Amino acid sequence: MRISTRGEYGVRAMFDLAIHYGKGPIPLRVIAERQVVSEHYLEQLMRSLRQAGLVVSRRGAQGGYELADHPENIRIGDIIRVLEGPITPLDCLESTTGTGGPYCEQPELCVLRGLWRSLQESMEQVLDNTTLEDLRRDAAAMKVAESYAGNLS
């Protein structure tokens, strides 16, 4: 699985919100400037994250976005699934029957399926066991929380 800009920018925006958690709604323009991301593109990502219940938005002069829950309750895997879809290295692992690819008509005969399944489980374990709070703590330990939120690359 390769994380696209959708996933990368979405995690960056969510990390930005986590760094500023509890400080009220943050205007999309501010997040876009800090993350050096197109405001229009970020708006699309935030719409998906809002529909999934990971962020809330407030309208008006004091409006913007904020996390829908505490950073310790938002897993990176949840963000990636919303923006990228299933976490899987191959399409044939998305179902128990297997679809997509020349050999997926008979997944029980695929010698490599176990390898790909182990890879999928490893990716899911890392992404599902890492929360926005973990990233906040890492940034604090590195003493870069505020500057990092504005200078991700």
Global pTM value: 0.85
Residues 5-86+131-150, CATH architecture? Orthogonal Bundle (1.10)
Would residue 152 be called left, alpha or beta, if left means φ above 0 and alpha means ψ between -120 and 50 degrees?
beta
**Cα-Cα-Cα-Cα dihedral of 27, 13, 133, 78, to 10°?**
120
Average pLDDT for runs of 10 along the chain of length 153: 94 96 96 94 98 96 95 98 92 63 67 88 97 94 67 47
CA dist., res. 100 & res. 105, Å (int): 8
- Report the run of H or E that residue 42 belongs to, with start and end: helix 39-51
d(CA 66, CA 31): 11
Helix axes 39-51, 5-19, angle to 10 degrees: 80
What SS3 state is found at 153?
Answer: coil
Q: What is the pLDDT of residue 96?
A: 53
Q: Is 50 helix (H, G, I), strand (E, B) or coil?
A: helix
